[in-house]
Amino acid sequence: MNNKKNPLSPHIQIYSWHISSLISISHRITGVINIIALTFISIWISSMLFGATSYELTKSILNSFIGKFIIIGIIWSFNFQILSEIRHLFWDLGYGFELKISKITGLMVIFGSFILTVLIYLGGR
Amino acid sequence: MVSATKKWIFLKASSVILVPLMMWFVINLAAIYDKSFDEVLAFFTTQPSKFLISLLMIVAFFYSALSISEIFEDYVENQEIKNVANKLLYLFVIIVPSLTIFVIFKLSL
């Protein structure tokens, strides 16, 4: 039966967000962001073919506020994906399915990704 | 072996390789992104970073092809659009890493 008047479920306005659903959708979004980021990194590497003089423009973009914001964003997105992937790998081994543990590891992914981003960015300075 | 099982094994094997590679990459990205042309060029064209960045490109794009095709499977209803989207995706994940590796080797000459 195909009734288009049926309400969609879960309705976005009344849907109660949980750690698990937040991590799940963020895992997918950061996965797509990472592949876009790697494509830009590929363009960055390719831009070096034009030589040192042309690279000055790339360098000035990367050193601008927007450039730094993008680099920090990429580092966070990669960190989120790394931690979330480790969580998935533990699930595949049969660990961490209990509700309490799952919530704790979910929070570890969220907060850990921000902490790692700060540490890695400052470590690189 | 069922194709879905094969796909799952490829996805997991590539994610095991990707975790340390991505960590290595972000640490180095934070250190080199604002450096001079010569320093960035030296990073991408000397070993072991030359090998590791090439491996990262291959495995990351392979992993993305598998996982983004799952997103198409979940959200794209029309079979024809899904097939076209998958073909374009596979073309993209072959071309971008191949070109990047070619550029890295050309820069090293």
**CB-based contact, B30 to chain A, within 8 Å:** yes
**CB-based contact, B64 to chain A, within 8 Å:** yes
The answer to whether position A5 is within a domain reads no
How many CA atoms does the CB half-sphere of A94 hold within 13 Å? 0
Q: What is the pLDDT of residues B14-56, one digit of tens each?
A: 999 999 999 999 999 999 999 999 999 999 999 999 999 999 9
Flag whether pLDDT at A4 surpasses 80.
Answer: no
Whether B22 and A52 lie within 8 Å, measured CB to CB: no
Residue A93: closest CA among chain B residues belongs to which residue? Answer: B12
What ipTM was reported for this prediction? 0.88
Which CATH number does the domain housing residue B47 bear? 1.20.1300.10
Q: What is the pLDDT of residues A68-79, one digit of tens each?
A: 999 999 999 999
**CB-based contact, B19 to chain A, within 8 Å:** yes
The answer to whether position A11 is within a domain reads no
The answer to whether position A8 is within a domain reads no
What sign results for the dihedral spanned by CA atoms A49, A50, A53, A57? negative
Flag whether pLDDT at A1 surpasses 60.
Answer: no
Q: What is the pLDDT of residues A63-121, one digit of tens each?
A: 999 999 999 999 999 999 999 999 999 999 999 999 999 999 999 999 999 999 999 99
Measured between beta carbons, the chain B residues lying within 8 angstroms of A88 are 15
Report which residue type is found at A99: L
Distance from the Cα of residue B54 to its chain's centroid? 9
Which CATH number does the domain housing residue A104 bear? 1.20.1300.10
For residues B37 and A48, is the Cβ–Cβ distance under 8 A?
Answer: yes
Report which residue type is found at B60: A
How many other C-beta atoms are found inside a 10 Å radius of the C-beta of residue A44?
18
Whether B30 and A31 lie within 8 Å, measured CB to CB: no
* Domain interval for residue B66: 3-108
- Per-residue tokens: A87: 């969580």
Domain count for chain B, please give it.
1
**CB-based contact, B94 to chain A, within 8 Å:** no
B80 compared with A12, residue with greater pLDDT: B80
> Which of B23, B37, B103 is facing A45, going by the closest CB pair?
B103
Domain count for chain A, please give it.
1
Measured between beta carbons, the chain A residues lying within 8 angstroms of B57 are 38, 42
* Domain interval for residue A63: 19-124
> Which of A34, A48, A62 is facing B41, going by the closest CB pair?
A48
Name residues whose C-beta falls within 8 Å of residue B101's C-beta, 6 or more positions apart in sequence: B54, B57, B58
Whether B96 and A42 lie within 8 Å, measured CB to CB: yes
- For chain B, how many residues are written? 109
